[in-house]
Structure 1
């Protein structure tokens, strides 16, 4: 139920519009008249604090609201005594001796009460003639006393002729009630009566369940007598068991309320005693109600003042719309329990309403209910009864109401009038065969009693969120759906949203257009005239509209029911409908608007309509990396612009501009030249539909944080594992964004939990697939997903940082298989590969996996070569296979034969093409690219997977040469060893540029951003840049050559740090590298705290010891350096006391010669400080986490 539902006045459209704007104008006018010019602040507004201004604004709003209530709602008081049959009482019900009133024309404030005189007249007393109205003086909050706990309820005293639109506005705007989806009006006996315990229990539970599950309002008489007492007992039982409060509104006559004087007061909170006086004819209010409307017609001790007001208010509520989408009016049902003759008249009036109000009768409750129930059971379809039944009814009426024969005859005629519309009457008989509870009777009575179409009935069930009603009452065999309007052509998203429709996916009209070069014009198909096809078309459109409502209202059970009953999601989901779903304001709170604002990099207007182009940018932003959404591709943008732009020319389908596949080298310009313009029909509804609609809907549900809907849609459609990983990544990214923004923690936690749930689903699916078939599971991991930016499940898991998924046995075996290539895995793999590199003939002794045993990372050329070899040697392989199966040789003999079957050239090629070999041999940092080809699917299984690994042997050779050139004396021109190092680094830089240009993203900026996401790429960039800077200085004359040498020396630190990347491959060292890397990040927070201490001590120390220091950069350095070295035990004792300071005039032979032009006086202490800080950050957590190591380093004394 939406809280922004408008209140519509259908009785007088000039007084109030859909949004209640006419009420805002008198409120503003009242504020100006009462407060605006008469109340001035003591100080100018700019001198008043913000809190005081807010407090004063709240006071002004409360005062304006109070004035509006008193000017809108009135009370009535008798101003003329008209004697009744009892001479001591006026016809209004008051005692003559206590009859006082304010004289007409006198002002209410301060006017005295005057004793009225008895009028000798034969005129009949009338509320319109003998009462006067004045502003209401009783409204606020009631606190009921006398119970176990205090109940509170809102109340107001109004005149019996108050306008229903004003009352509804009061309830919605002031009492903050949401418009109901159902109105249950309870009628029955006014006098106390007893119900059978079983019937009372069933009645109470069914009534509360109907109200809670549908969001209904319950209208009663409000006082604690008769049927209202039983309703109050049911409400009390519910409030004691559940925190949810049912909206029960009591509409009672002001004159019959006991202790009503306690309620007089304007905008007050009044205590009210619920203990009634047994001798009084008045009644107390029922404490279980939440709101009271006290109707005043000037009488005292008489019922009936509320009848007209209650009927008009019920009619006005029935004209309101359930919500802005469904367009259904609020259904009203009349519930009858027991009752007297007046209840029969109420039933007849309800059935004669336009539209009629369905009635539910509780059989067995007594009196009027039993009479109507008996007549309903034995009357015919036309409402007539037999003579025997008639006589029996007349006798029953006489005995029940103690009436005469003529009076009973009148009641009988009223009952027969009711039976003429027996279809609108539903009788609940407890214990009868096939009879459900009273809740189902109420809801089914509304469905069959309103005579609504099936689509309207489905809308009601949607509003109530009762899928059981829809399943049992609407979707039945042989049900015929009525015709509805069918859109002829797809509308633009803006037009769809303005019209409130569900999108234009069902259009049939075709625009005239040319096709090909022949200039032939399409002929529009004739309009459909077949009644059966028209009925089927209307049925389909009704279901699709219901599906749209169910998605918007987040009704998962209804979506499932509609799919089961014939809704074709491929036909249903169109571009306008999907955009309407993204722009819905209903449903749970989500962060989509904030993410769109961040992506658009600017504030969005309040009425901004999100487009699919925006959603594409959001998906790329959340998925990160090189992910490319199809909504942002040129083909989709061109189609979107042509279909829904301001102008609708014939769309151009650009062949060769589909950005799904990576562009080949040097063919971009050729493709642009070969673009072919093909005319397509822009009015073809198939263009606005999607190939994988469940994918689009699941992404929509995830972005709008509708977890239950997302889980349901995940179960439908294709690629369940990929969808689960995408949802996991999207939720995790949105959780990160919410943590960075000023959102509540609950949203972050909900998003994190949703991400974990989808991650667990992906893991379980992989586990079940692996247990069922290992090969199929590996293919699932490496299958290229066209709809997800050509990614793979393994790549999506890496993007989502799903460590459990990657650590699964299936994923690890696949990665190992790709890492080893065509080499057969065994013991001492590293040793065998090194021996093969050092001694190439050893390659011939290795085992290779070819044919069916080939690994997943066989390149396309290898597959082609293998196929050719298999074709050329098919006969030989067949004979060999027969011989092998016929002989029972051992495995070694089979392996020897297998090695003999593999060509020597193929063995050498596969050995050097294996990633494991490249790791140990390559002279540059290797990009481990898994580009697998599946010969059966003829599609690549793994896309460019950037698992960067450092080279092995050749990298060590490079480091040794680098060590040599910086340790020995540097000559004027580079030596051979230095030229080798220079060429290595320059070629490595060229390789990095190639990696950036050949990466997946389309734009250069995005290529660079994706490349920089890897930490080791940043390290390489820094190392290469620093070395090139040093090379530029090194080639110059002194003193620049010395500075270049110092840069060489500092740069080698980066290259040694990259050795950790080699350790990352090792199963023993790799975890330690990862652990220490994370520790370093966490220790940065400790360093920030340490800097505060260093700064405070360093400034004080520098100021005390060096009061005459001049402003230099060395001063800023000394503030940090001296205190920093003191952490490691260097106390600088010679500089503590200025008088005894001793300067050493001799220099140790072991100290570095900083006066040399090839050295730097500041580089050595800088690097030394960095090393100490790094070692401290690494060693401290290790000593904490490894107590055994700590005990070895720091043994306890014996």
Structure 2
């Protein structure tokens, strides 16, 4: 329709102007007058003179129209700088245009030019743009400062979000510092330690503004934690790939998701499902990564499992996996090999029963048939006799066997005292027994002190998290209660009862030793998990027992009078109501007792009537 002249102008061919006016009349029916149609045609012709600003889109094609609209915007006169073009591409979420059109046009970006765009990409979870920025000049170690990370956390605190509720527990203000994030991590993970986090407080900020510009050793790890807290799962998956220690980062992420899952109310089922799904995802990342490493290099793979991370209180991956309940990771060959090596620590062969005997007869340690020690250093030198003894007695298997043997002896002494040597005057054996119990108490106190948490409350909470330690609390409480009761003649009988009850608690503590056995350990776990189901069954059963027991006793003893009740008769009635139907449920009908009761009732009736005839 137009002719391109040598001067660069475009002239419409003769006759085409009339066609253009006619097309305008058909398309734009609201334009009635001919001068207005002529004016519209002039505007269209003027637009056609700017060829470089025209973008043609075939509406019948399968391509996205927004791509061509963005192309048109990028070629506009208002968009002059490459940064403005990149901002438009980010706004329209078109990383393909940014990668193919914008970044190739400018190789060297000014310092700090991409930082604001990176912040926007992180907040809007545009992972592809985050990748583009890191591949085209943005250095994450320089970008992520304390100020930037603090800004990200505050921007992610949208109203009624889980992150906002967590931070408001640590800080009553609406603006949060990294110190508050540290408190949240400490409460959830028990083992977070980072000097940069703890130094970012309102007071320190006013005293030393340079804190704002501190950077992190592993910025991707810090962003990963932020992405997990702010529920940006896709971004978290990418950030994990860039962490310095991806195996530890995956387990830490799984542990954090597990803690978030526990801290959330049961009503938020969608978020709970999301947390559980993401936890399993990161656990699978860790399992796959460790599996590949274990196939390539066994020694280095074990080193990754046992490597301690200062950020998480010098915990290794297995300790974090236990906190996260990552059973699949713990069951991997690499993790099990690490556990086995640490269990024997320095010994390649150490049979269980041989270790028990060697604790009593140390000369057995030097018998190669039972014990084989790992070579010393790279040269493969043999250990000396003192070194072998140190390795043996420092190994966990030796300590466990010694502790188990001592506890079995303790139970024998305890049973002897309860059965044969429990008198008002304390015997030497009983005094020795209580000294032994005090030693166990001191051992538990040292165990609390050795917990990884930095606060006393956290140490006690971590220690009490084990069901066996809670067993110990009950056992020690009953032991000292029994001691206090047996010292007085009036309560001596109750002291004996406390002693006897505590025997059962101490013997139940033997279950702790079953964990190391491949056959008994799983059975113990099954038994422990069945307790809740058994309690539910008993809650249902007690309804039928009470109903049947009261009804049967009412029919068997119609002559009972409330005025003649005393403590003995009440206890007897409660026993009849509860125990009789319980035993009858197992087939014990107590016919002999019922016959005696019937005979006695018959005799009382005959005696009251004055008859000399005895009932049959």
Q: Place the TM-score, normalised by the shorter chain, in its bin.
A: 0.7 to 0.9
1:395 aligns with 2:27: no
**Aligned pair 1:1079/2:530, yes or no?**
yes
Task: Tell me, yes or no, if structure 1 residue 724 matches structure 2 residue 250.
Answer: yes
In structure 1, C-alpha distance between the alignment counterparts of 2:60 and 2:540, rounded to whole Å = 76
Which of these residues, 752, 771, 788, is aligned with residue 276 of structure 2? 752
Q: 1:574 to 1:465 in 2, by over 3 A?
A: same
Kept in 1, the 8 Å contact 2:254–2:278? The answer is: yes
Query: Do structure 1's residue 469 and structure 2's residue 97 form an aligned pair?
Result: yes
In 2, distance between residues paired with 1:807 and 1:982? 41
SS at match of 1:478: coil
Matches within 5 A, 1:538-937: 540=112, 542-584=113-155, 591-597=162-168, 608-623=174-189, 626-630=190-194, 636-644=197-205, 648-649=206-207, 651=208, 682-683=209-210, 686-687=213-214, 689-738=215-264, 740-743=265-268, 745-825=269-349, 829-846=351-368, 847-852=371-376, 901-921=382-402
| Change beyond 3 A, Cα 1:1112–1:698 | farther
What secondary structure sits across from 1:690 in the alignment?
A: coil
Three-state SS of the structure 1 residue aligned to 2:188 is helix
Distance in 2 separating the partners of 1:437 and 1:964: 87
State the distance in 1 between where 2:178 and 2:326 align: 28
SS in structure 1 of the partner of residue 386 of structure 2: helix
Cα 1:411–1:1018 change in 2 (3 A) is closer
1:427 matched to 2:47? The reply is no
Q: Which runs of 5+ in 2 are unaligned?
A: 24-33, 604-616
CA apart distance, 1:1114: 7.0
| Aligned partners of 1:617 and 1:629 also within 8 Å | no
Deviation, 1:692, is 1.6
Is this contact kept in 2: 1:467–1:557, CA < 8 A?
A: yes
Bigger mean CA offset, 780-789 vs 912-921? 912-921
The answer to whether residue 487 in structure 2 is matched with residue 1031 in structure 1 is: no
Larger radius of gyration: 1
Identify the structure with the greater strand proportion. Answer: 1
The corresponding residue for 2:452 is 1000
**Structure 1 residue 1058 and structure 2 residue 585: aligned?**
no
1:1128 corresponds to: 583
Equivalence map 1:313-462=2 (5 Å): 371=1, 374=2, 378=4, 384-385=9-10, 389-390=11-12, 392=13, 394-399=14-19, 401=21, 413-428=42-57, 438-452=65-79, 453-462=81-90
Q: Distance in 1 between matches of 2:442 and 2:210?
A: 51
CA contact (8 A) 1:588 1:706 kept: no
**Cα deviation per residue 1:298-320 (whole Å; 9 max; x = unaligned)?**
xxxxxxxxxxxxxxxxxxxxxxx
Distance 2:570 2:222 in 1: 59
The 8 Å contact of residues 191 and 454 in structure 2, kept in 1 or not, is answered as: no
Q: State the partner residue of 1:485.
A: none
Q: Return the offset for 1:733.
A: 2.3
1:1017 shift after superposition: 0.8
Deviates more, 1:705-714 or 1:612-621: 612-621
CA distance in 2, matches of 1:959, 1:401: 108
TM-score by length of 1: 0.45
Equivalent residues in 2 for 1:1002-1151 (5 A)? Answer: 1002-1036=454-488, 1038-1097=489-548, 1105=557, 1106-1108=560-562, 1121-1125=575-579, 1126-1129=581-584, 1134=593, 1140-1141=599-600
Residue 384 to residue 853, structure 1, CA distance change in 2 (3 Å):
same
Change (3 A) 1:464 1:910: same
- Offset of residue 800 of structure 1: 0.6
SS of structure 2 residue aligned to 1:718: coil
CA contact (8 A) 1:588 1:705 kept: no
1:952 Cα deviation from its structure 2 partner: 2.5
C-alpha deviation, 1:697, in angstroms: 0.7
Deviation string for 1:910-968 (max 9, x for gaps)? 222222122222xxxxxxxxxxxxxxxxxxxxxxxxxxxxx232222222221111111
Q: Secondary structure at the match of 1:824?
A: strand
Question: C-alpha separation between the residues in 2 aligned to 1:1093 and 1:596?
Answer: 49
Contact 2:347-2:374 within 8 A present in 1 as well: no
Partner Cα distance (2:563, 2:166) in 1:
53
Tell me, yes or no, if the aligned pair for 2:220 and 2:239 is still in contact at 8 Å.
Answer: yes
Is contact 2:221-2:243 (8 Å) kept? yes
Using the TM superposition, give the Cα deviation of residue 1004 of structure 1 relative to its aligned residue in structure 2, in angstroms: 2.0
Once residues 1118 and 1013 of structure 1 are traced to their aligned partners in structure 2, the CA distance between those partners, rounded to angstroms, is 41
Q: Does structure 1 retain, via aligned residues, the 8 Å contact 2:346–2:374?
A: yes
Distance 1:1041 1:431, change over 3 A: closer
Give the deviation of 1:440 after TM superposition: 2.9
- Offset of residue 547 of structure 1: 0.5
- Equivalent residue for 1:111? none
Which residue in the other structure is 1:181 paired with? none
2: distance between equivalents of 1:470 and 1:980? 80
Q: How many residues align?
A: 581
* Contact kept? 2:82, 2:106, Cα under 8 Å: no
Residues 597 and 684 of structure 1, relative CA distance in 2, 3 Å threshold: closer
Once the 2 structures are TM-superposed, how far is the Cα of residue 722 of structure 1 from its aligned partner? 1.1
2:451, 2:459 within 8 Å by CA — same for their partners in 1?
yes
Matches within 5 A, 1:155-194: none
